[in-house]
Chain A
Amino acid sequence: QSVLTQPPSVSAAPGQRVTISCSGSNSNIGNNYVSWYQQFPGTAPKLLIYENDQRPSGIPDRFSGSKSGTSATLGITGLQTGDEADYYCGTWDSRLTTGVFGGGTKLTVL
Chain B
Amino acid sequence: QVRLVESGGGVVQPGGSLRLSCEASGFAFSTYGMDWVRQAPGKGLEWVAFIGYHGDNKYYADSVKGRFTISRDNSKNTLWLQMNSLRADDTAVYYCANDGGRLWFKQLDSWGQGTLVTVSS
Q: Which residues of B contact A44 (CB under 8 A)?
A: 95, 111-114
Q: Contacts of A103 on B, CB cut-off 8 Å?
A: 44
Residues B45 and A90 in contact, CB atoms below 8 Å apart? yes
CB A78 to nearest CB in B, in angstroms, measures 24
Q: Identify the stretch in A11-19, A68-76, A91-99 within 8 Å (CB) of chain B at 4 or more residues.
A: A91-99
Asked if A35 contacts B108 (CB within 8 A), the reply is yes
B9 lies within 8 A of chain A by Cβ = no
A103→B110 CA distance, assembly (Å): 20
**A62 CA / B94 CA spacing, docked (Å):** 30
In chain A, positions 66-110 with a C-beta closer than 8 Å to chain B are 86, 88, 90-92, 96-104
Contact B108 A37 (CB under 8 A): yes
Collect the chain A residues with CB atoms within 8 Å of residue B45's CB.
37, 39, 45, 88, 90, 101, 104
> Counting chain B CB atoms within 10 Å of each CB, which of A2, A45, A98, A99 scores highest?
A99
Q: How large is the interface on B (under 10, 10 to 19, 20 to 34, 35 or more residues)?
A: 20 to 34
A contacts with B: majority SS: strand
8 A Cβ contacts from B11-68 to A: 35, 37, 44-47, 50, 59-62
**Residue in contact with A104 in the complex, picked from B44, B110, B112, CB distance below 8 Å:** B44
Stretch of B72-80, B82-90, B97-105 on the interface side? B97-105
Nearest CB in chain A: distance from B39 CB, A: 8
Q: Which residues of A contact B (CB under 8 A)?
A: 2, 33, 35, 37, 39, 44-47, 50-51, 56, 86, 88, 90-92, 96-104
- Jot down 25 A-B pairs with beta carbons below 8 A, ordered by A: A2-B44, A33-B106, A33-B107, A37-B45, A44-B111, A44-B113, A44-B114, A45-B95, A45-B108, A47-B108, A47-B109, A50-B100, A51-B106, A88-B45, A90-B105, A90-B107, A91-B105, A92-B106, A97-B104, A98-B47, A98-B59, A98-B62, A99-B61, A100-B47, A104-B44
| Residues of B participating in the A interface, judged by any CB pair closer than 8 Å | 35, 37, 44-47, 50, 59-62, 95, 100-101, 104-114
